[in-house]
Amino acid sequence: MTDMNIENRKLNRPASENDKQHKKVFPIEAEAFHSPEETLVRLNSHRQGLTIEEASERLKVYGRNEVAHEQVPPVLVQLLQAFNNPFIYVLMALAGVSFITDYWLPLRRGEETDLTGVLIILTMVSLSGLLRFWQEFRTNRAAQALKKMVRTTATVLRRGPGNIGAVQEEIPIEELVPGDVVFLAAGDLVPADVRLLASRDLFISQSILSGESLPVEKYDVMADVAGKDSEQLPDKDKSLLDLGNICLMGTNVTSGRAQAVVVATGSRTWFGSLAKSIVGTRTQTAFDRGVNSVSWLLIRFMLIMVPVVLLINGFSKGDWVEASLFALAVAVGLTPGNVAHDCQFQPGKRRDCDVAAQSDRQAPERYSKLRRDGCAVYR
């Protein structure tokens, strides 16, 4: 078993009682307290990168470099979700009442039956649900097509057989594995949690993780950046964002260039763990709360108005059957069937693919030449 596998087992071991008292330790945090050479040894890697065979084997072990994100539900599930609306429930209940009063009771008494009201209500429900489903389906399909269009790559070193002929290659960031040696330049998105091996005037924007708008300077030395002492280890009480010799997935390079080794990919990164914790836990936006508030307000208003109309009409005319039909018509009229599909255009709807899109941004074209120049200095 390689040193890398042993280290992974240590990092993924069940937490003891003492460990539970401490915060979770990510692989990148552990490597921040080792020299670059020690990190390369622990990752079973080399400054000239991995071979193609090693990269392929590690890709099978660690999986693709992708963060967790919500999957698009199957078409049948989307169709069923399109009818999950309180107004549709109300209309279906009214259709049931109309079926009883206009068909079932007259049929038992041998009178003429009429399903016109039931068919009208069911038509309203079908149109509302199908329109909502079609809009949802088109939105998901457009989002998936956009994700396929927006791709980015990373520059890595690949060694030939016998540790000879290390060359730079552009590969999709999804194919990065721990131990890969990557190059970073201005405009690049940090594709994984990496430990710096060499850097020059490197500034990283960590606003996506910290909210701080100002970029932070990063160094390849093992030192505390403030002390500028290469023999001084970083303070272990510092946050991951304060460690000066590592770069986290999801951040981006504002200036400078660097060479780094990939320590963690996918869900084992800090950004990946954050994404995994929020997938499937969507919180309501102000727009969602407003729509729900209006929906239940209209339902409560209908529940008050329908009995009042029924009683007034029944006592005034004495025909309770006619009064029931009129109250039913009032209930249907007070139910805004178009709200079911209008609510699909929510400002927060696009959040389902935001996490995945963060790792798919591409560097602007103006940085392409600078990137090639930056990579060349590490040949």
Look at residue 293 and tell me if it is in a domain: no
Q: For residues 272 and 250, is the Cβ–Cβ distance under 8 A? A: no
- Whether 132 is in a domain gets the answer yes
In DSSP notation, 58-103 reads: HHHHH--S----PPPPPHHHHHHHHT--HHHHHHHHHHHHHHIIII
Domain that holds residue 38: 24-284+354-379
- Inside any domain, residue 341: no
Q: Is residue 309 part of a domain?
A: no
CA atoms within 13 A on the CB side of 174: 12
**Picking from 190-199, 224-233, 252-261, which range would have the lowest pLDDT averaged per residue?**
224-233
The CA distance from 93 to 87, in Å, is: 10
347 inside domain? no
- Grade residue 251 by pLDDT with cuts at 50, 70 and 90: very high
For residue 150, give the CATH number of its domain: 2.70.150.10
Strands 153-159 and 50-51: parallel
pLDDT reading at 88 higher than 60? yes
Number of domains in the chain: 1
237 vs 372, more confident: 237
Q: What angle do CA 211, 215, 216 make, to 5 degrees?
A: 105
* 25-83 residue pLDDT tens: 788 888 888 888 888 999 999 888 898 889 999 999 998 888 877 777 888 888 888 88
Q: Is the residue at 370 inside a domain?
A: yes
Residue 240: band (very low, low, confident or very high) from pLDDT cuts 50, 70, 90: confident
| pLDDT at 94 > cutoff 70 | yes
Look at residue 334 and tell me if it is in a domain.
no
Tell me whether residue 56 is in a domain.
Answer: yes
Q: Which percentage of the chain shows pLDDT scores above 90?
A: 14
Tens-digit pLDDT profile for residues 263-298: 999 888 888 888 777 665 666 678 778 877 877 888
| Closest C-alpha among 68, 62, 28, 71 to residue 275 | 68
Confidence of residue 261 (pLDDT cuts 50, 70, 90): very high
- Asked which of 217-231, 240-254, 299-313 is least confident by mean pLDDT, the reply is 217-231
199 dihedral zone (left: phi>0; alpha: psi -120 to 50; beta): beta
